[in-house]
């Protein structure tokens, strides 16, 4: 990994890894951000906890494969890329997650790009 990428990383503890065992989605706090953790097969990604459309809690929605759907107006995103699908008109910031010393850590740097 190059030095520039490492400098932009902002890893924050979100929760104990044991708290996410068996869960598909879970809202938690990573640093100063509310995030939604979503299981994608054998890995986990994070995104903002609120829909970029009308601030609905994305934890009320559902994930199917790599597609996240908001329950309020059925906006959808590809969780691999953050690209909008269907009727969604805005990207969803998606951040990498890693597990270290029993903690789930989120790189909150990519989530900052979704700030208004």
- Residue 47's contacts (CB-CB under 8 Å, 6 or more residues apart) are 35, 36, 38, 58, 68, 77, 79, 82, 92, 93, 94, 95, 111
- Strands ordered across the beta sheet of 84-85: 62-64, 67-69, 76-78, 84-85
CA angle, 49 as apex, 44 and 67 as ends, to 5°? 55
pTM: 0.89
pLDDT digits (tens, 9 = 90+) for 96-108: 999 999 999 999 9
User: Does the pLDDT value for residue 29 go beyond 80?
Assistant: yes
Rounded to whole angstroms, how far apart are CA atoms 101 and 28?
Answer: 18
């Amino acid at each position: 990994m190059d030095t520039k990428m490492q400098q932009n990383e902002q890893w924050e503890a979100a929760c104990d890894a044991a708290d996410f065992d068996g869960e598909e989605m879970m809202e938690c706090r990573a640093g100063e951000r509310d995030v939604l953790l979503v299981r994608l097969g054998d890995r986990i990604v994070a995104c903002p906890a609120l829909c970029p459309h009308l601030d609905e809690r994305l934890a009320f929605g559902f994930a199917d494969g790599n597609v996240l759907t908001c329950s309020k107006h059925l906006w959808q995103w590809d969780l691999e890329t953050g690209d909008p699908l269907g009727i969604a008109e805005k990207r969803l910031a998606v951040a990498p997650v890693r597990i270290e010393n029993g903690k789930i850590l989120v790189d909150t740097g990519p989530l900052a790009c979704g700030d208004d």
